[in-house]
A and B are shown apart, each in its own frame.
Chain A
Amino acid sequence: MVNATLTPETTRRAAPGAPATGIHGRDRRGRRQAVVAYLFLAPALLFFAVFLVLPLGFAVLLSTSRWAGFDLGDIQPVGLDNFAALFADGSTFLTPVLTNTLLFALGTVALALAGSVLVATCIDNLRFQGLWRTLYFLPIVTTVVAVGNVWKYMYEPGGLVNGVLNALGFGSVAFLQDPDTALPSVVVVQAWASVGSAILVLTAGLKSIPETYYEAAALDGAGPGTVFLRITLPLLRPSLVFVCVTQFLTGLQSFALIIVMTKGGPGDATEVAALEMYRQAFSYGDWGTASAAAFVLFAVVLTVTLAQLWFFRRRGEDV
């Protein structure tokens, strides 16, 4: 079907007086096939046009415009004013919003990565591995709202975590009410909630490491620590890269957990970019600022992802 559309023009040109069933017929059949192909592609193309190309184009337009969200005829171009306002003196976007977003993503990646490596390594040496993987995967299939609310109650002054602290003789901690502990507390929940998928990827990575390496290490008398640092960790690096990049992307775009647990507070201690964009657009009716913030976040995500890929590629990984 595709070949027919690529037939050179010279071979498709019909000889004078040639019968309709000859080259002309093949030409028509080829075009008909091309149309059929486009018709089959149409739903997918339409989907991308409606849900990707159009919103993207609209977001570009809005980021350089002023629009309150009510009347499409009321979009006023303002150039780069929205971007300038984001970084103007007194704006909260750079600090604390963007700073919180990066800290949240970094904290989540660090905790989730360390936790998942530890747990995946343990699971790899246990019986009933399927059961353990399923248990650790459960937070993934639980809604963020449920996870956030349960943890919120656990963190409360009379909650489970403070109950344990009190039982151990420590004073209560205002986890979500103290600006110094609110962000780390939410980071712990996000890491806990995302550790399941990381474990799945890492256990698959561990399975792909040939047993012969471990046998050779055992013959050489290497201890468990040396085996982990010199064999397991280096050979697990492709899986670690994948987990690292995807967790970071998720962390940078986090929204639901924050809005459920803290709504960005106390003050703006847990205010992150996605939440700020949502508020600017849907609460304040400032779609221009929201779109400009979205593009700034996109630039940050792209830069961080490219930096991660460059870093790991420099170390010889095929990612």
Chain B
Amino acid sequence: MTRTPRRRHVALALPSALLAAGCAAPSRGTGRTGDPIVLTLLSHYASGALKEALRGPVDEWNTTHDRVKVATKAVEFTDLLTTVMVRQAAGQGADLLHPYCLWNGQLVRAGVLRPAPAPHAAEIRRGYGAAAVGSASVDGTVYGYPTELQTYALYYNKRLLREAGVGGPPRTWRELEDTAYRTARRDRYGNTLVQGFGLSAFDDSTTVGQTLALLSTAGGRFVSPDGRRTDLDSAAGRAVFDLERRLVARGASDPGVNVYSAFASGQVAMVISAGWWTADLKSLMGRAYRDVGVVPVPLPEAGGERATLATGFMLGVNTAARHPREAWEFLRWLNTDKVRGTTRMSALQVSVGSLTGRADDMRTLLGAGADPNLRPFLDALGYAVPEPNMPGAQQAKSLLRKNIEALWTGRQSVDEALRTTRRQVDQEVARSW
């Protein structure tokens, strides 16, 4: 071989080597027995109180453990799934992942999540409520420690109800409708002054969350237990869609208004939302927060069985993790070891206005002096049903949102919305399996 082609090869190899060096995985310890191990944890606790809250226990672990250290990496929630995807494809997946449980089916199907070892799975089943365990499981297999768990309840504005002559918050759908019509007000141009019942079109989670919470009170469910087909096209589904359509058509709901800012401004009488919102409302509303009350999601008929929706996050271990045993040990320490009567994760979540699926911890932490508005969310831990998380769950949720919005805007009748949702979701979910 002459020198010229060799130089050409060198010229080509040099940039490749630089690229490869740039893409090289970060140091995670040598892996030799006795050498330090660095576990990476990817979460969406990227800023503010969440970031600080996670830093506390991680710093504590790092100061009390010589061999295994934990390094956190955080991105905004909107970038979390993309980041997991890109890092995994590049061979740089974090050892510990903190996914939204909705994605669990997708992550398990793609081989990203490692099933919890038997002792950990047993600990999780024993220590957490059914909704939390269900959220962290796929097809009956537990994949991680549940962390933040959100249940849905009805927020209402006491002042608006009082001004409309309504004695108390609704307990049934009939009372909900009646209260919504009595509290709703519009000006002469049709602009909404007060929404009786807020229907949020803000994003997939808020739009679908409130609908599925109502659906669960009617005994219905979005997908079948095995997650392979929709169950929405049922009497319960029709009842929920009918209720929402009536509320919009009769002017009690205006999905065009941002419910989350309108409620804080005293322009929405009632809305179904998750527990995390209480902390936001407190800071947004100031003294006006005393007008806010929370009760369980109203039932179709009085005396029915309580139900609502639960959504959550979990901490799991990557299949690509080089030190899974150490990773699970860190998770056990963070999620089950008790300090002053509660786990570190429960204390962390409550400090940022959230809940975990550990009812005993929540009762301890939210004992005397806690915001009474958190009580219904805590009670709901006992009866909430987990959000479906089969493969394709995210797409199913987006398709459901589109059809709910088409229903609200009158583009589809109740029957059409139910039929279209079933057809589209069944078709897409089938592709995901």
A69-B89 in contact given A157-B257, A266-B409 (Cβ < 8 Å): yes
A174-B431 in contact given A38-B8, A285-B85 (Cβ < 8 Å): no
Of A131-139, A175-183, A211-219, A307-315, the one contacting chain B is: A175-183
Q: Does B325 contact A (CB under 8 A)?
A: no
Complexed CA–CA distance, A283 and B411 (Å): 26
Of B114-122, B185-193, B227-235, B365-373, the one contacting chain A is: B185-193
Cβ-neighbour of A69 out of B110, B256, B411 (below 8 A): B110
Inter-chain contacts of B403 with A (CB < 8 A): 267
Complexed CA–CA distance, A156 and B8 (Å): 62
Cβ-neighbour of B110 out of A71, A92, A156, A174 (below 8 A): A71
Contact B190 A171 (CB under 8 A): yes
Cβ-neighbour of B4 out of A35, A179, A271, A283 (below 8 A): A35
Inter-chain contacts of B269 with A (CB < 8 A): none
Q: Does B140 contact A (CB under 8 A)?
A: no
Inter-chain contacts of B402 with A (CB < 8 A): 264-265, 267-268, 271
Q: Does A230 contact B (CB under 8 A)?
A: no
Interface centre among A46, A174, A264, A285, by most chain B C-beta atoms within 10 angstroms, is A285
Q: Does B166 contact A (CB under 8 A)?
A: no
Contact A70 B112 (CB under 8 A): yes
Complexed CA–CA distance, A50 and B22 (Å): 14
Q: Does A26 contact B (CB under 8 A)?
A: no
Contact B424 A283 (CB under 8 A): no
Contact A72 B409 (CB under 8 A): no
Cβ-neighbour of B88 out of A71, A166, A177, A178 (below 8 A): A71
Inter-chain contacts of B427 with A (CB < 8 A): 88, 90-91
A71-B111 in contact given A35-B4, A85-B431 (Cβ < 8 Å): yes
Inter-chain contacts of B364 with A (CB < 8 A): none
Complexed CA–CA distance, A32 and B7 (Å): 10
A12 to chain B, nearest CB (A): 14
Q: Does B363 contact A (CB under 8 A)?
A: no
Inter-chain contacts of B192 with A (CB < 8 A): 157
Contact B4 A31 (CB under 8 A): yes
Complexed CA–CA distance, A90 and B189 (Å): 39
Interface residues of B in 1-36 (CB under 8 A from A): 4, 7-8, 11-12, 15, 19
Q: Does A237 contact B (CB under 8 A)?
A: no
Cβ-neighbour of A282 out of B11, B12, B82, B405 (below 8 A): B82
Q: Does A39 contact B (CB under 8 A)?
A: yes
Inter-chain contacts of B203 with A (CB < 8 A): 263
Q: Does B68 contact A (CB under 8 A)?
A: no
Contact A266 B406 (CB under 8 A): yes
Contact A157 B111 (CB under 8 A): no
B401 to chain A, nearest CB (A): 8
Q: Does A122 contact B (CB under 8 A)?
A: no
Question: What is the interface size of chain A, counting residues whose CB is below 8 A from a CB of the partner?
Answer: 49
- Tier of interface size on chain B: 35 or more
B43 to chain A, nearest CB (A): 18
Complexed CA–CA distance, A279 and B82 (Å): 11
Contact B191 A285 (CB under 8 A): no
Q: Does B205 contact A (CB under 8 A)?
A: no
Complexed CA–CA distance, A72 and B91 (Å): 9
Q: Does A302 contact B (CB under 8 A)?
A: no
Inter-chain contacts of B349 with A (CB < 8 A): none
Contact B85 A282 (CB under 8 A): yes
Contact B408 A68 (CB under 8 A): no
Residue ID in chain A nearest B86 by CB atoms: A69
Q: Does A22 contact B (CB under 8 A)?
A: no
Q: Does B376 contact A (CB under 8 A)?
A: no
Q: Interface readout for A42-54 with B: 1 if CB under 8 Å, 0 if not? A: 1100100010000
Inter-chain contacts of A177 with B (CB < 8 A): 201, 255-256, 409
B417 to chain A, nearest CB (A): 9
Contact B191 A267 (CB under 8 A): no
**SS class of chain A's interface: helix, strand, loop or mixed?**
loop
Cβ-neighbour of B394 out of A176, A269, A284 (below 8 A): A284
A53 to chain B, nearest CB (A): 14
Contact A71 B201 (CB under 8 A): no
Contact B398 A70 (CB under 8 A): no
A70-B15 in contact given A157-B191, A177-B409 (Cβ < 8 Å): no
Contact B405 A157 (CB under 8 A): no
Q: Interface readout for B56-90 with A: 1 if CB under 8 Å, 0 if not? A: 00000000000000000000000001101100110
Cβ-neighbour of B406 out of A34, A35, A43, A268 (below 8 A): A268
Q: Interface readout for A236-271 with B: 1 if CB under 8 Å, 0 if not? A: 000000000000000000000000000111111101
Q: Interface readout for B409-433 with A: 1 if CB under 8 Å, 0 if not? A: 1011000000000011001100110
A57 to chain B, nearest CB (A): 16
Q: Interface readout for A154-173 with B: 1 if CB under 8 Å, 0 if not? A: 00111000100110001110
Inter-chain contacts of A34 with B (CB < 8 A): 4
Complexed CA–CA distance, A166 and B405 (Å): 26
Contact B81 A42 (CB under 8 A): no
A71-B89 in contact given A265-B201, A266-B201 (Cβ < 8 Å): yes
Complexed CA–CA distance, A319 and B30 (Å): 62
Complexed CA–CA distance, A279 and B78 (Å): 12
Complexed CA–CA distance, A268 and B405 (Å): 8
Complexed CA–CA distance, A264 and B398 (Å): 11
Complexed CA–CA distance, A174 and B254 (Å): 10
Q: Please list 19 pairs of residues, one from A and one from B, whose beta carbons are closer than 8 Å in the complex, sorted by A's number.
A: A32-B4, A35-B4, A35-B7, A38-B11, A42-B15, A69-B89, A70-B112, A71-B111, A92-B424, A156-B257, A162-B189, A265-B402, A267-B411, A283-B81, A284-B392, A284-B394, A285-B85, A285-B110, A286-B431
B residues with CB within 8 A of A:
4, 7-8, 11-12, 15, 19, 81-82, 84-85, 88-89, 106-107, 109-112, 189-192, 201, 203, 254-257, 392, 394-395, 398, 401-403, 405-406, 408-409, 411-412, 423-424, 427-428, 431-432
10 closest Cβ contacts across the A-B interface?
A177-B256, A267-B406, A68-B110, A70-B110, A284-B395, A70-B88, A267-B405, A266-B405, A69-B85, A166-B189
With A88-B427, A171-B189, A267-B405 given, name 7 new contacts (CB 8 A): A31-B4, A35-B4, A68-B106, A70-B110, A74-B110, A267-B406, A285-B85
